[in-house]
Amino acid sequence: MIDAVSILALALLVLAVVASGVPGVPAGLLALAGVYVEYLFGSGGMTLWLLFSFTVVGMLAVVVDLFGGAVAARGRGASTQTSLLAGGAGLVLFFVAGPIGVVVGMFAAVFALELRREDRSVEEAWDNGLWATAGMLASGVAVFLLVASILIGYLVFVLWFGNGL
């Protein structure tokens, strides 16, 4: 039988999976909130080892979500300053133009900032903008897979084998 705490934890985990597709929403933190709600207030179906495993995966999702695009841009040769400013521009544009604003904003910010550098050609700035944007999108896929694995683990190990279902 599923209790109210398990329903809340499950709702937070499902919300985390959905939020992984929305830039700027901390899907990893939502997943961790669901896991900790179950652990702290649930009926005891979650072991400490399982909590630790979920926490590691959730923290990895947070790190990938925060730094995925910047790492891709930096790996391609963009400056750290460019990567940080592009992330900030993407976050601001999320509130102005939604998810499309993040994608366009990330590309435009990296392109413009890299173009201002003396040693960058238009082609290099364009490539860096594409790499940063692709990295951000790829990190979104990685975050989705990470939080989905927490959801599946919760369903299987806590609700199914923990006799919640």
**Tens of pLDDT, residues 35-47:** 999 999 998 778 9
- Tell me which of 80 and 34 has the higher pLDDT: 34
Has residue 121 been placed in a domain?
yes
Residue-averaged pLDDT of the chain: 87
Is residue 75, in this structure, part of any structural domain at all? yes
165 inside domain: no
Higher confidence at residue 88 or residue 150? 150
Q: Is the pLDDT of residue 126 over 80?
A: yes
Q: Is residue 144 part of a domain?
A: yes
Q: Which domain holds residue 69?
A: 4-160
Q: How many domains does the chain have?
A: 1
Rounded to an integer, the average pLDDT of 79-101 is 79
Distance of CA 25 to the CA centre of its chain: 7
What pTM value is reported for the model? 0.81
Residue 146 lies in a domain: yes
Residue 54 CA to residue 132 CA, distance in Å, equals 28
Residue 83, pLDDT above cutoff 90: no
Whole-number percent of the chain with pLDDT over 90: 42
Helical pair 122-153 and 27-41, crossing angle rounded to 10 deg: 20
